[in-house]
Structure 1
Amino acid sequence: MSGSTDVPDEGPRNERTGGDDQPREQRLGPVVRRRQQVMTSTSDQRLLDSRGPSDWVHQDPWRVLRIQSEFVEGFGALAELGPAVCVFGSARTPPGSSEYEDARRIGRGLADAGFAVITGGGPGAMEAANLGASESGGVSVGLGIELPFEQGLNAHVDVGINFRYFFVRKTMFVKYAQGFLVLPGGLGTMDELFEALTLVQTRKVTRFPIVLYGSAYWGGLADWLRDTVIAQGKASPHDEDLFRITDDVEEAIRLVTKD
C-alpha cells in the first residue's frame, strides 16, 4: 500500500540551511531532498488548507492512514517510558546563557529524581534539558515536528520521534508526562502551556502539575490572567491555582514531581 503512486507527498521532516557549500536538506523518512527539490509547505499546512484543487477527495484518506501511523509509532516508542516530565522552552535560548544552564540543571534534577525528560527535541532550552537528563544517566526524549525552518532533533536525545502533525505530537506530550515544567519561550511554548491549562481546567487530565520557571518572564502573564481575564469573568478565580511560578530550580522540580 505504501508504494502506491496515489499516496501524496507529505512534506519535510526537517531542514538544515548552511552556506554555499552546505545544501539545504529535508528528510522525509527514508527520502532526502536537497537544493531545488526542497519543499516549502508542511503536512499540517496541506491538511488544513481548504483551498486548492479537488484532489483532496482522493488524498485525505491516505492522510488518515499517515496520521494513524504516527499515533501507532508514538504509542509504541513511548509505552514503556515510565514516569516523565515535559520541559518546554525557547529554541532561541543561547548555549551558555543563564536560562540554558537553568534548563540543563532542571533536566539533570528530573533525571536524578527518576523521571524521564521529554522536550520538543530542538535546540535552545530543549537541548539544555535533554543534555542535563543525559548527563545524569536519565532517559532523554525528543518529540520533533516537521517545520520549514526546524533543525531536527538535538544530539542529546536518546529516544526521538519526528512528527508530521502537531495534534499527534501534542497527544504524546500529554499522554506520557506527569506534568509540564515551562521555561521562558515563545508562541510554541505558550501554545503548549495554554493547552495544558485548558486540559486541567476542563478535567480532561488528572493530577497534572504545571510549573512556570522564571517570575520575571511569566509574572506579567500571570498578572494579566488575574487582573483582566479573571477580573472580567472570562475565567474562574480558581484558575489561578492551575499553575505555580518559581525562580528556584529545586522547587520547580519538587512541584512538578510531587504526588
Structure 2
Amino acid sequence: METLDEFDAVLAEDGTLAGHRVQAVDLTDRTHRLLAAEVTGAIFLGCPMEEEAAAQVRARGALVFPPVPGLPFDPYRGQLYTPDELFEGLSTPDGYAATPDSRAYAWFQRTKADGDVFASMLRAVHDDSISDALDELLAGARVVGVMGGHAMARGTDAYAGAARLGRTLARSGFTVATGGGPGAMEAANLGAYAAPHDDTMLTEALQLLAKAPSFTPSIGDWAGAAFEVRGRWPGGGGSVGIPTWFYGHEPPNAFAAHLAKYFANATREDGLLARSNAGVIFLPGAAGTVQEIFDNATPNYYESRGEPTPMVLVDRAHWTERLPTWPLLKALARDRAMESRIALVDTVEEAADALAHIGSSNSQD
C-alpha cells in the first residue's frame, strides 16, 4: 500500500492489515483504524504515525521502520519524483541550493566517503524503493531509451533534432526514457512533452530555451527557462528520466514527467537499459554514451534478457570516425542473434524508422 486510499480500501475489503506492507503512507490521522486492525506480520516502511500507535502495533506483531528525521529525501518513498518536487525552492533567494535535489546531493557528498553503514543502508533502501516505483509505472509500456551527451547545448541543430526524435517516438506510442539530465537527455524528454501540442509549440519552445543554452554557469537560469516553457504550454506528454546524484554537477531536467533519481549510478544505468524493452537510440556522446552502448550490447550478445532489443546509433561520422564504436559493435554482433537488431544511421530523422524496421524484423541487409 502506497497511498491512504489503498490503506482505507484494504481495511474496508479485508478488515485486516495482517501480512500487508504499507510504504510511506502518513497514518497520523488513521490511529483509531490502525489500532482496531489486526497487524500481525504487517510491515510499515517510513509511515508517520502517533508514538502510541507505533508502540502498540509493534507489540502486536508488526515491524515498524520509522521515518528518519533530518534527511532531505524519503528513503521509503512509494512514488517517483516530479520536476516540481526536486526543484521546489528554485525561485527563493537561495535558488538551486535550496532545492531538495541540491540538498540530497549535499547529503550524499557528506556521507558517501565516511563509511557510515547507516547512510549507505539509507541510500540502498531509497534506490530500491525507486526501482519498485519505476517498475510499477512502466508495467506494460513500450519503452525506448534515448542516450546521448549532457553537453549538447540548447539552441543547436543537434538539440533540436533530439527533441524532434523524442516527439516522434512519443507520437508513435512509445514511452521515452532518458538519463534524465541536460543535453540530449533533456531534448528527448522535451520532445515527448511537446507530443500532444501542435508542431509550432516545439519550434517556439526551442527558441525560448536557447536563452539559457547550458546548465553552466547557472542551473537556476537553465531550469527556470524550462519551467517557463512548461508554464506557457501546460499539459505536456509524459516521459521518464532516470538521473543520478552521483553526477552532482548535473541536475535533472524539468521535461520528464517522472524522475527516478538514484544515488547509485551503476544501478541507474543498468536499470535504464534493462527497462528499454523496445530498443535504445544512441545519439552522439562521449565516454558515458560509449559505456552505455556496450552495457546494452552485453546482454544482447549473451541474450541474457531474452531476445535482443534494437540498438540504433545516430551520426555515422561520429560513431565510425570520431569515436569508432560502430565497427566494434558490428564485429561483436557478427553471427549472433543481435546482428539483425543493430543499425547505424546518419540523422535523427532516420532513427525512428530504423528502430521500427529492426524491431519488427530478424533480418537486416
* C-alpha contact 1:14 1:149 (8 A) present in aligned 2: no
% identical aligned pairs: 26
Alignment correspondent of 2:313 = 212
Larger Rg: 2
Q: How many Å separate the matches in 2 of 1:61 and 1:39? A: 14
Deviation track 1:232-251 (CA, whole Å, cap 9, x = no partner) reads xxx57447936321013343
Alignment correspondent of 2:135 = 75
Q: How many Å separate the matches in 1 of 2:333 and 2:74? A: 42
Q: How many Å separate the matches in 2 of 1:236 and 1:42? A: 43
Report the alpha carbon displacement of residue 212 of structure 1 after superposing the two structures with TM: 0.5
- Return closer, same or farther for 1:145/1:255 CA change in 2, 3 Å cut-off: same
Q: Is the aligned partner of 1:130 residue 2:189? A: yes
Alignment correspondent of 2:243 = 144
Q: How many Å separate the matches in 2 of 1:183 and 1:108? A: 15
2:185 aligns to what SS in structure 1?
A: helix
Q: How many Å separate the matches in 2 of 1:171 and 1:95? A: 27
Higher strand share: 1
Which shows bigger deviation, 134-143 or 115-124? 134-143
* C-alpha contact 1:14 1:26 (8 A) present in aligned 2: no
Higher helix share: 2
Normalised TM-score (structure 2)? 0.54
Normalised TM-score (structure 1)? 0.74
Q: How many Å separate the matches in 1 of 2:326 and 2:271? A: 30
Which residue, out of 112, 125, 147, partners 1:88? 147
Q: Is the aligned partner of 1:66 residue 2:126? A: yes
* C-alpha contact 2:310 2:355 (8 A) present in aligned 1: yes
Which structure is richer in relative contact order (CA contacts within 8 A, separation 6 or more)?
1
Q: Which structure 2 segments of 5+ residues have no match?
A: 1-64, 76-84, 197-236, 361-365
Q: How many Å separate the matches in 1 of 2:326 and 2:179? A: 27
The one-letter code of the counterpart of 1:170 is E
* C-alpha contact 2:282 2:293 (8 A) present in aligned 1: yes
RMSD: 3.7
Q: Which structure 1 segments of 5+ residues have no match?
A: none
Q: How many Å separate the matches in 1 of 2:266 and 2:162? A: 25
1:211 aligns to what SS in structure 2?
A: strand
Q: How many Å separate the matches in 2 of 1:140 and 1:60? A: 29
Deviation track 1:142-164 (CA, whole Å, cap 9, x = no partner) reads 1121132122233x212222222
Q: Is the aligned partner of 1:41 residue 2:109? A: yes
Q: How many Å separate the matches in 1 of 2:99 and 2:110? A: 12
Superposition pairs of residues 1-259 of structure 1, within 5 angstroms: 1-4=65-68, 22=94, 25=97, 33=103, 38-39=106-107, 41=109, 46=112, 55-56=116-117, 61-80=121-140, 82-137=141-196, 138-146=237-245, 147-154=247-254, 156-177=255-276, 178-205=278-305, 206-220=307-321, 221-222=324-325, 225=328, 235=332, 237-238=334-335, 241=339, 243-257=342-356, 258-259=359-360
Q: How many Å separate the matches in 2 of 1:2 and 1:192? A: 37
The one-letter code of the counterpart of 1:125 is A
Report the alpha carbon displacement of residue 187 of structure 1 after superposing the two structures with TM: 2.1
Equivalenced residue count is 235
Q: How many Å separate the matches in 2 of 1:112 and 1:181? A: 16
